[in-house]
Amino acid sequence: MTEKPFRIDTPQAALDDLAARLDRVRWPDELPGAGWDYGIPLARVQELARRWRDGFDWRAQESALNALPQFTDEIDGQTVHYVHVRSSSADALPLVLTHGWPGSFLEFLDVVEPLSRDFHLVIPSIPGFGFSGRTTERGWDIARVARAWAELMHRLGYERYGAQGGDFGSGIARMVGQVAPEHVVGVHLNYLPTLPPPGGIDGLSEEDQDRLDRTVAFAAQRPGYQVLQSTTPQTIAYALTDSPTGQLAWIAERFAKWTDPASRIPDDRLLTDVTLYWLTGTAGSSARLAKESSYGGFQRCPVPAGVAVFAHDILQSVRPVAEGFLDIRHWSEFDRGGHFAAMEVPDLFAEDVRKFFSAVG
């Protein structure tokens, strides 16, 4: 197909409006010595807001992003934005890389160069996120996204490819394997919650039992952001769409809680992600993905799977449980890195992806 190029060109009025809103923030109070006990501390949000207002250069970020080959297409009635980097090796295996929430295609910036040595890369923005824009109808769950990815890869002429993802991208990658098993050589996942099967599972090591217990506890008492986005995303959308500091705090807290303290993501990279959500007005539509998606829809993924477990991720996977629904061909455990592995430890991430797909591709 003939691809439709996309270029970021933010109206100056949108940046002026953001600056004006940051100039008139109405700050909440905070209990003395509260720390993180009640949420992200006031001082941290104020620090980020000052940087966003007076030191952060969106135009510089925009220029750097426009150096990437970006395109849009319409699939199933929805605009789909994607980065498409072809490897210098014509017979390289294509890979579709999928981000999660509150991330974006920006998660993969640091692995484009190393991975494109060996793979053709397709890095889409999930419908409802970033430059794919807001979804306009019900039903955009992870299965529908997976079908859109399969169609996108078909239109690009890729009939044999791999899928990779973390967070929502993990579920989408598995679904791509389910909806297009004849085309997908394997799926690589860097986040995989593993709940016990009906009747439980015996013979786990002490470490795996501890991981399983923490996963069960997490599922039984989901954190507040997850409950809100999976039940009433419209309600939280009003605050996040109207207040840049609300959007900033909502995302910055997740980045702080889910990353390895030893691999801290630079503030300007965080602010680029937040600005992307703000300028595209996709706080509400990205949150809807949690409500739309049914996690009970997974069946056993019929294609080979690789799993990378990072020590500081939200949860750590349990291999004996994962083997009940995945054909595990590759399993890696890392003592550093967290939920945003491609941003935090791009060297480890890229090498693990390469190892897996080199074996199955």
Q: Quick one: pLDDT band at residue 298, thresholds 50, 70, 90?
A: low
Check which CATH number belongs to the domain holding 172 and give it. 3.40.50.1820
Q: Is the pLDDT score of 297 beyond 60?
A: no
Separation CA 185–CA 302 (nearest Å): 10
Instruction: State the CB neighbour count (10 A cutoff) for residue 23.
Output: 8
pTM of the model as a whole: 0.96
Separation CA 52–CA 64 (nearest Å): 18
Q: What is the predicted pLDDT for the residue at 318?
A: 97
Q: Is the pLDDT score of 191 beyond 60?
A: yes
Separation CA 234–CA 236 (nearest Å): 6
- The domain in which residue 89 lies consists of 4-360
Q: Is the pLDDT score of 200 beyond 90?
A: no
Q: Quick one: pLDDT band at residue 70, thresholds 50, 70, 90?
A: very high
Q: Is the pLDDT score of 115 beyond 70?
A: yes
Instruction: Give the residue, 200 or 236, on which the prediction is more confident.
Output: 236
User: pLDDT for 217-257, tens place per residue?
Assistant: 999 998 899 999 999 999 999 999 999 999 999 999 999 99
Q: Which stretch of DSSP H or E encloses residue 241?
A: helix 233-242
Q: What does pLDDT average to over the chain?
A: 96
Write the CA distances from 332 to 156, 170, 186, 190, 319, integer angstroms.
31, 16, 16, 10, 10
What is the tally of structural domains in the chain? 1
Separation CA 158–CA 93 (nearest Å): 9
CA angle (4 as vertex; 60, 283 as ends), nearest 5: 55
Report the SS3 class of residue 244: helix
Q: What are phi and psi of 212, to 5 degrees?
A: -65, -40
Long-range CB contacts (< 8 A, 24+ apart) of 23-32? 23/53, 25/49, 25/245, 27/245
Mean pLDDT confidence for 316-338 = 97
Helices (H), 2-157: 12-23, 42-54, 58-65, 112-116, 142-155
The amino acid that residue 188 corresponds to is: H
**Residue in 123, 99, 151 with CA at minimum distance from that of residue 286:** 99
Q: What is the predicted pLDDT for the residue at 296?
A: 52
Q: What is the predicted pLDDT for the residue at 6?
A: 98
Q: What is the predicted pLDDT for the residue at 268?
A: 98
Per the structure block, which two tokens stand in for 214? 């923490």
